[in-house]
């Protein structure tokens, strides 16, 4: 059942919807993805999704799987591209995003294996730039992303685009590439890897330019630990020190879905 937002805001040109709880925010994200599949399918005969990992989107995938099981949603004419992947990592290693996507979505739905694209954590580092460029070409050849699902790191990262010293203009031009993880990101991944010293310190990530090119960008953030990054990103200014603030560059195509805890820093907005 669809729960309406309890609050709607417009900040830095972006739509922000605050839901009564994290569950209804995740359900709203799943509904937007389903609509994107249906709309793009109707217009072009296929839909192209950008997908995210982490704790936050797990409930989104659970909703999509439920809809598929109910016979209400098919992925037959869908292609997916994931935001990021650790490097180096094997696809059957549980912290890998290949493994995550398989567990939470791919193995439960009728998505063709050759249309479920995740950056390859086994690519030799010397070929990482070629692989990243090829991934971008796949997305372009597929006619671009209809919808990009995003989460936010506590440090404001999107995908694995970490805080950096570039100007906003340079940062919004960043392409898909191999990056070093920020200390906050490594600390947050420690539980997933078992301990901080086992966290893989590099990753492949879709670039900010690639993310911003999506026709719809769905940012889902839940929990009080995201409140500071969410408020700074939505209040602006745009800065590469807080990559999520750069979503304002594509403001008209961005929607933020929050729970009350993640929206806490917006009080008075
Ligand atoms: C990871 C992923 C991001 C994700 C973020 C938040 O670092 N690379 O794409 O958005 O963490 O994850 P969580 O939802 O677990 O808080």
Please determine, for residue 143, whether its predicted confidence score (pLDDT) is greater than 70: yes
Most ligand 1 atoms within 8 A of CB, residue of 83, 148, 153, 229 to mutate: 153
pLDDT at position 196 over 80: yes
- Report residue 16's pLDDT band, with 50, 70 and 90 as the boundaries: very high
SS3 of residue 96 by DSSP: coil
**In the structure encoding, which two tokens stand for residue 16, read together?**
């922000």
| 157 given a catalytic annotation | yes
pLDDT > 80? residue 218: yes
Contacts of 123 by beta carbon, 8 Å cutoff, 6+ apart: 87, 131, 204
Q: Contact, 167 vs 240, CB < 8 A?
A: yes
**Which residue in the list 87, 157, 182, 249 is annotated as catalytic?**
157
Provide the edge-to-edge strand list for the sheet that holds 7-11.
Answer: 7-11, 14-18, 254-258, 217-221, 147-150, 47-51, 78-82, 116-117
Torsion 102-107-112-114 (CA) sign: positive
**Residue owning tokens 């990530």:** 205
In DSSP terms, which residues pair with 127 in a beta bridge? none
Please give the distance, rounded to the nearest whole angstrom, from the Cα atom of residue 42 to the centre of ligand 1. 31
Q: Tell me, in angstroms, the distance from the centre of ligand 1 to residue 84's CA.
A: 10
Ligand 1 proximity of 155 Cβ (cutoff 6 Å): no
Q: Could you read off the pLDDT of 85-101 as tens digits, one per residue?
A: 999 999 999 999 999 99
Asked about 125 being catalytic, the answer comes back as no
Q: Does the C-beta of 146 come closer than 6 Å to ligand 1? A: no
Q: Is 117 a catalytic residue?
A: no
State the average pLDDT over residues 151-161. Answer: 98
Question: Which residues on adjacent β-strands are paired with residue 218?
Answer: 149, 255
Q: State the Cα–Cα distance between residues 187 and 153, nearest whole angstrom.
A: 11
Within 10 Å of residue 54's Cβ, how many Cβ atoms? 18
Q: What is the DSSP letter of 5?
A: P
CA of 44 to the centre of ligand 1 (A): 31
Which residue do the tokens 């950056």 mark?
119
* Mean of pLDDT values over 230-236: 97
Residue 59 confidence (pLDDT) above 70: yes
Residues 108-139 pLDDT 10s: 999 999 999 999 999 999 999 999 999 999 99
Ligand 1 atom 1 nearest Cα? 54
Cα–Cα dist 79/49, whole Å: 6
Q: Tell me the C-alpha distance between 188 and 196, whole Å.
A: 9
pLDDT in tens, 33-53: 999 999 999 999 999 999 999
Ligand 1 contact via 238 beta carbon (within 6 Å)? no
CA dist 151 to 55, 57, 222, 268, Å? Answer: 9, 8, 9, 24
pLDDT over threshold 80, residue 74: yes
Task: Express as a percent the part of the chain with pLDDT over 90.
Answer: 98
Nearest CA, atom 3, ligand 1? 159
pTM recorded for the entire structure: 0.98
The beta strands (E) that lie in 13-95 are given as 14-18, 47-51, 78-82, 84-86
């Amino acid at each position: 059942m669809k729960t309406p937002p309890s609050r709607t805001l417009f900040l830095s040109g972006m739509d922000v919807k605050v839901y009564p709880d994290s569950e209804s925010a995740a359900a709203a994200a799943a509904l937007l993805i389903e609509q994107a599949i249906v709309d793009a399918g109707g217009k072009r005969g296929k839909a192209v999704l950008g997908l995210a990992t982490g704790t936050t989107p797990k409930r989104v995938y659970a909703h999509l799987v439920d809809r598929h099981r109910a016979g209400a949603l098919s992925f037959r004419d869908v292609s997916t591209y994931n935001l990021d992947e650790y490097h180096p990592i094997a696809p059957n290693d549980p912290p890998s995003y290949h493994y995550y996507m398989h567990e939470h979505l791919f193995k439960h739905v009728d998505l063709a294996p050759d249309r479920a694209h995740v950056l390859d954590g086994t690519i030799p580092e010397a070929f990482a730039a070629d692989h990243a460029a090829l991934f971008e070409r796949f997305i372009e050849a597929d006619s671009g992303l209809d919808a990009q699902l995003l989460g936010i790191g506590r440090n404001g990262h999107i995908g694995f685009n970490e805080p950096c010293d570039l100007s906003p203009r340079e940062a919004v031009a960043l392409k898909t590439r191999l990056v070093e993880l920020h200390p906050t990101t490594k600390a947050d991944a420690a539980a997933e890897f078992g301990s901080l010293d086992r966290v893989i310190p590099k990753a492949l990530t879709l670039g900010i330019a690639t993310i911003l090119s999506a026709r719809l960008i769905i940012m889902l953030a839940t929990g009080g630990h995201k409140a500071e990054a969410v408020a700074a990103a939505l209040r602006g200014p745009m800065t590469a020190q807080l990559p999520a603030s750069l979503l304002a560059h594509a403001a008209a195509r961005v929607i933020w879905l929050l729970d009350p805890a993640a929206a806490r820093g917006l009080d008075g907005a």
